[in-house]
Amino acid sequence: MADLVPSSFQPIIQMVLDSVTSPQSKRAYSKALTDFMQWFQDTRPDSGFSKATVQQYRSLLVDAGLSASTVNLRLTAIRKLAQEAGDNSLMHHAIAQGISHVPNVKREGVRTGNWLTLQQAEKLLVWRRMRAALSGT
């Protein structure tokens, strides 16, 4: 089983796209995989598809300032690519498994607006139930 290089990915990309049903997922995965393949072909064409390659790409996406959600979506598509390649005997399962362990980017943010405490939420629910009972709905 040879290392996967960019020129051998097109059939596997189609397998990935065939494995998702949502048109939005197909579009997002197609873009993610096309972008990855372009980067891979331009920067690491002879290195093979590996965990190190995907980690380097992850760092590039983070450094480019993409949101955690965008990076994680792209990583999901790449992990699916590795899974399909491993499941179809196009790459060693150990390599595919390694790629599947590339971590997502942690989502960080600040809560905005007003948030209820647990006690406030419970009071609100009781009040709504009482109001519904009184109005007959």
pLDDT digits (tens, 9 = 90+) for 3-54: 565 566 788 889 999 999 999 999 999 999 999 999 998 887 677 889 999 9
Whole-number average pLDDT of the chain: 88
pLDDT digits (tens, 9 = 90+) for 58-99: 999 999 999 999 999 999 999 999 999 999 888 899 999 999
pLDDT digits (tens, 9 = 90+) for 23-35: 999 999 999 999 9
DSSP states along 15-39: HHHHH---HHHHHHHHHHHHHHHHH
The single-letter DSSP state of residue 106 is: P
pLDDT at residue 56 greater than cutoff 80: yes
Task: Report d(CA 83, CA 80) in Å as an integer.
Answer: 5
